[in-house]
Amino acid sequence: GQQVMQIPQYQHVQEGEDFTTYCNSSTTLSNIQWYKQRPGGHPVFLIQLVKSGEVKKQKRLTFQFGEAKKNSSLHITATQTTDVGTYFCAALQGGSEKLVFGKGTKLTVNP
């Protein structure tokens, strides 16, 4: 089945530094979703990208969808301790309603 590859698996930054996580697929995606899971919590939807080359911003978070709709990235500018958690990308498995998640990137921020 369709797989979404996500890197890096872990990222440790100093507060104020930037952070980026990347997702790649071997197939064209209809859309891609991003979720954040705080330690001990459940995944919470952040955003969905649908259009080729789409860029969306949420405050310090910038989400991009590649031109070929096979890759996506989440960039956080000037990280804060509240940004800690695991960020997952997710995409629909081709032709189905099932959402397949990347392995996630666990972000830790050193104050």
Q: Which residues bind another protein (CB under 8 A)?
A: 30-31, 33, 35, 41-45, 48, 50, 88, 90, 92, 97-104, 106
**What does the CA dihedral 48, 53, 57, 63 come to, rounded to 10 degrees?**
60
DSSP string, 63-107: EEE-TTSSEEEEEESS--GGG-EEEEEEEE-TTSS-EEE---EEE
Residue 85 tokens read as 């958690």
Rg (CA), the chain: 13
Shortest Å, Cβ 43 to another protein: 5
- Least distance in angstroms from the C-beta of 56 to another protein: 14
Nearest residue (CB) to another protein, 35 versus 63:
35
Residue 18 vs 30, nearer CB to another protein: 30
Q: Closer CB to another protein, residue 50 or residue 68? A: 50
Question: Shortest distance, CB of residue 88 to another protein, whole angstroms?
Answer: 7
